[in-house]
Amino acid sequence: MLLEARGLHIAFGGVIAVDEVSFTVKAGEILGMVGANGSGKTTCLNMLTRLIAPGRGAMMLDGQDYTALAPDRLVALGISRTFQNLRLFKDLSVAENVALGVQAGMQAKGTPRRERAIWARVHELLDMGGIRVHAGVLPASLPYGTQRVVEIARALASSPRLVFLDEPFAGMSSDEARMLSKLLLDVRESSGMALVIVDHNVEVLVSVAERLIALAEGRVIAEGAAAAVLSDPAVVRSYVGTDV
Amino acid sequence: MDGEWSATLLLCGIYSLVAIATQLGIICGAFSLAPIGWMSVGAYAAALAATKWQVGGATGLAIGVLVAVVFGPLVMLPVRRISGLYFALVSLAFVLVIQSVVSHMDYTGRALGIFGVPLLTNLWHVGIALVLVCGVAAFMTGGWRGRALRAAGQDPKVAYSMGVNVANLQLVVGAISAVIGVVAGFLYAHYVGYVDPTQYGFAMVVQVITMVIIGGRGHWMGAIIGAFLITSLPLILRPLAEWRDVVNGALLIVVAVLLPAGIFGVFGLFRRRAGPVDPAEAKAGH
């Protein structure tokens, strides 16, 4: 098992945001995480990437407990992520944003961070995402969907084993979402990395994820094949507010 | 060179040092005014070495640098809990505490300061120091280090998730900028021949901030441009006699309003941000 989350729990000022969440991700698997707003998906991701410390529970990658590891050490483990609200470095160009991911990966592997090697890899990634033409511009000047692709390219740049993508399809047109889902499947195919994708666009999510996990009020309410999870009465109730 | 101009050039160099030290902090997300405090430490180290400890100037400088290396990171520590203007205020307190301490101690000559510091600093000393500091600044802000530094300054949380140890980076910058401040103060004391507490107070803080903002935040070259402009402007505008200060102030307002990224920001627009072009590709006409 690549990732194992065991009994993750956190409360903010008495409000329980995530409650005893446990799940696993296999190497090379794409896991979709669904749930209504406020169900705890992003908080889960923030704990799993150590941006916040879990109140209780444990997180293991390849059997190694990283619950107490500093967030900057996760790249070395092979974990990277994107953010729900785009968080590209606004004063760094598209290429420089991606270069940060590349150099983090090199640091993790102990490879010397030579500029020539960094930029060669950056240009490869920009070509892969079809954004080479934007290499020298600042991210804010690009359309939202393109900025999303830049952020994903940055997350993939460190050659991770596991990537958490927080609402990667949000704000994208259906064409852009389709292209991105193809890109993610291609990347998984070529690199074998596992992806955990949180998104509200269930239609696109189902087209890429092999398995879904549904959260409501901070708890896992269903887990398994997409069709089974989406037809689960508890999941329907959490989205619609009543049985259908 | 005319004596007045060479004196101005020398001061431009010294102010460039302290402006670069401040700029490095700003780039990595720690808006610290501490370099002015460190300048004071360097100046008093020079004065005490020459008048009380009876040791050579090099020993005085070495002591100041040692203190900066040890305590520079400590002064940077609060940035782990507070940031932005709040951290700037804490660092200002450091400057004012040093000023207050030296102005109340007999050993440092109280408000009168210490006279009799040998006049040793010349343009060569300042030039060499500036070249070395520019080298350090270029090393710190270039390549992968520079990207990590700027990432830490823009969004520390995301920088952490990109493998950047923001806290350690800021401590390193704290030590480097403290050492640069000490060197600047040392050179200044050996140039003017005395130290007193008023030299390194709030007025100097305002002056250095103005240099950094006018020159251009985010790049060490901006700090140099600002330092040279602000330091030499009064001399350049001297023919305007009593209108000099008015024109000086008006020019600063114009630059601040029309060039919010500072003078260097104009050049920044032409910076290559896409990475080096592969010569083979360029030849193929890509």
Q: What is the pLDDT of residues B150-199, one digit of tens each?
A: 999 999 999 999 999 999 999 999 999 999 999 999 999 999 999 999 99
Question: Is pLDDT at A85 greater than 50 in this prediction?
Answer: yes
Alpha-carbon distance of A69 to B285, in angstroms, equals 48
Partners of A83 on chain B (C-beta within 8 Å) are: 158
Instruction: Tell me the residue range of the domain where B12 lies.
Output: 3-284
CB contact under 8 A, B276 and A119: yes
Q: Are residues A234 and A170 in the same domain?
A: yes
Residue A167, phi then psi, degrees to nearest 5? 55, 60
Q: Of A159, A175, A209, which residue is a domain's last?
A: A159
Helix (H), strand (E) at residue A32: strand A30-35
Q: Of A133, A159, A185, which residue is a domain's last?
A: A159
Confirm or reject contact between B164 and chain A (CB < 8 A): yes
B247-261 average pLDDT score: 83
Q: Are residues A66 and A165 in the same domain?
A: yes
CB contact under 8 A, A91 and B143: no
Confirm or reject contact between B149 and chain A (CB < 8 A): no
Q: In sequence order, what are the beta bridge partners of A30?
A: A195
What pLDDT sits at residue B285? Answer: 40
Question: Is pLDDT at B286 greater than 80 in this prediction?
Answer: no
Partners of A87 on chain B (C-beta within 8 Å) are: 155, 157-158
pTM over 0.80: yes
Residue A233 CB burial class (10 angstroms; 0-12, 13-18, ≥19): exposed
pLDDT in tens, A218-244: 999 999 999 999 999 999 888 777 655
Q: Are residues A55 and A168 in the same domain?
A: yes
Cross-chain CB nearest to B162 (options A70, A75, A137):
A75
Contact B124, A37 (CB under 8 A): no
Q: Are residues A96 and A208 in the same domain?
A: no
Confirm or reject contact between A147 and chain B (CB < 8 A): no
Confirm or reject contact between A158 and chain B (CB < 8 A): yes
Q: Are residues A106 and A59 in the same domain?
A: no
Torsion of CA B170, B172, B178, B179, to 10 degrees: -160
Best CA proximity match to B278, nearest among A119, A93, A150: A119
Q: Are residues A141 and A180 in the same domain?
A: no
Helix (H), strand (E) at residue B33: none
Q: Provide the domain count of chain A.
A: 2
Q: Are residues A168 and A223 in the same domain?
A: yes
Question: Is pLDDT at A119 greater than 90 in this prediction?
Answer: yes
Assign residue A31 the CATH number of its domain. Answer: 3.40.50.300
Chain B residue with Cα closest to A95: B274
Q: Of A139, A159, A179, which residue is a domain's last?
A: A159
3-state percent helix, strand, coil for chain A, nearest multiple of 5: 40, 25, 35
Q: Where are the beta strands (DSSP E) in B71-197?
A: 114-115, 194-195
Q: Are residues A184 and A117 in the same domain?
A: no
Q: Are residues A2 and A70 in the same domain?
A: yes
Complex ipTM: 0.91
A94-111 average pLDDT score: 94
Q: Provide the domain count of chain B.
A: 1
What pLDDT sits at residue B279? Answer: 47
Q: Are residues A70 and A167 in the same domain?
A: yes
Assign residue B254 the CATH number of its domain. Answer: 1.10.3470
Q: Are residues A91 and A140 in the same domain?
A: yes
Instruction: Tell me the residue range of the domain where A193 lies.
Output: 1-78+160-244
Alpha-carbon distance of A99 to A108, in angstroms, equals 14
Place of tokens 């919010």: B260
CB contact under 8 A, A89 and B144: no
Q: Are residues A66 and A100 in the same domain?
A: no
